[in-house]
Structure 1
């Protein structure tokens, strides 16, 4: 059957997910590749196990707590193939998050448990907004003691029970900060109460590791610490994977929901 809208038989029809397609082919592609960079960057700098290929990327920062170890598929491939490749390329005894932009089907036969379908959110630069305020002092992390404060707040405020009691260096190594990765801590005097991280890759800012301790809640700390990471690269869009509790805060910061992703955990 012929039709004027059908391409020539030998023409390649891009899906938008081939490795050679530019990152900015779509906002979702940018978000996938930026999160894949986030999954690998800290592990690579810390000389920990990592892998970055055409179909998936991942890094292993620790042996406890899945949030320390991310796996991000880069293409809509069979998750079973990705999981088999993970077992070949990375240690098989550690937990990880499997963060997919695509529905996956049931992965429990592969030892994973469904964490949910959180929304991917994005904020575009230049959107008018009155910046959020807090009575806490927000400082960008520039030294090891402040990085340790950020790590402690994340572990205790997120919370991450698998990493408790807190041990310095269990999540953030001295090499965690770099040109592409920055962190903030909000203080009440000398007491750290909130934290966030910004990672830039592929023209996008990934906002991650937002946590607020109970004594800072109701003081605007969550919005203000998220804003610091969101606007660190002011000409770039910012993206994050929201929790149900955090979503209203991000909407007030003019983030928009793009789609739902799928997150599995290997315990």
Structure 2
């Protein structure tokens, strides 16, 4: 009886990770490809080194701070082999995040350190959610000054100590606004919260959520994340959650889907 469910001999069976498979084959595939696109987009727009192949994608925006540079696996391949390819294809001395949607072996012999296994979280656009209220004024960035405000909050509020003291354009250059929607929350003109929405593979990727200490406890994180989440309100939204952020995202209707693996090349 078991043989009755076997496909005809020679039939090609999709695994879900073939390069030519449609992104919408699954929500997980969409999330993987959205993160891979994010890894490349900013570096490409800034004229910095980037690579996008069948197995992985990555970009190098700067020489300091792993969060500045991303490498994302696109297929369940040997991660140590990809680390070796990254060294050949991208500048070898730059730090980066190595993001795998699949469990990996020990990559310490390849020079990486384990950052953790954060959850991928997903929110469907049909989810009924009461929008959070904050006393901050939430604005979408439209110019270089606003972009510098967003970058300052990200560097000082996240924080990213490798990029201190703050100097603009370490992460965001003006062309960044051509591919991403950047949001900033202000209190009397002072930038205190930020988040980014990036659309790719049919999903909204929410990234770079940060809040300054002066805005914590004022629902600033929820409000700025909501602005990014609903930028493209007909799309599902995804994000990789920090421990501190998970309760905030859950109140916005996000669900934990699965854990990913994040390594850091220092």
**TM-score, normalisation: structure 1:** 0.98
Q: What is the 5 A alignment of 1:75-224?
A: 75-178=75-178, 180-224=179-223
In the alignment, what sits opposite 1:28? 28
In the alignment, what sits opposite 1:266? 265
Q: What is the 5 A alignment of 1:209-248?
A: 209-248=208-247
In the alignment, what sits opposite 1:58? 58
Gaps of 5+ in 1: none
Deviations 1:224-246 (A, max 9, x none): 00000000000000000000110
Q: Distance in 2 between matches of 1:168 and 1:77?
A: 37
Q: Distance in 2 between matches of 1:128 and 1:136?
A: 23
Q: Distance in 2 between matches of 1:266 and 1:35?
A: 18
- Give SS of 1:3's match: helix
Q: Cα distance, 1:24 vs. partner?
A: 0.7
Q: Distance in 1 between matches of 2:251 and 2:53?
A: 36
Q: Distance in 1 between matches of 2:249 and 2:14?
A: 33
Q: Cα distance, 1:8 vs. partner?
A: 2.1
Deviations 1:32-51 (A, max 9, x none): 00000100001001000000
Q: Distance in 1 between matches of 2:252 and 2:3?
A: 47
Gaps of 5+ in 2: none
Deviations 1:31-83 (A, max 9, x none): 00000010000100100000001100000000000000000010000012211
Q: Distance in 1 between matches of 2:237 and 2:42?
A: 19
Instruction: Provide the alpha-carbon RMSD of the alignment.
Output: 1.0
In the alignment, what sits opposite 1:69? 69
**TM-score, normalisation: structure 2:** 0.98
**Residue 252 in 1 paired to residue 220 in 2?**
no
Q: Cα distance, 1:9 vs. partner?
A: 2.3
Q: Distance in 2 between matches of 1:253 and 1:61?
A: 31
Q: Cα distance, 1:161 vs. partner?
A: 0.3
Q: Cα distance, 1:2 vs. partner?
A: 7.9
Q: Cα distance, 1:195 vs. partner?
A: 0.2
- Give SS of 1:114's match: strand
Q: Distance in 2 between matches of 1:170 and 1:202?
A: 27
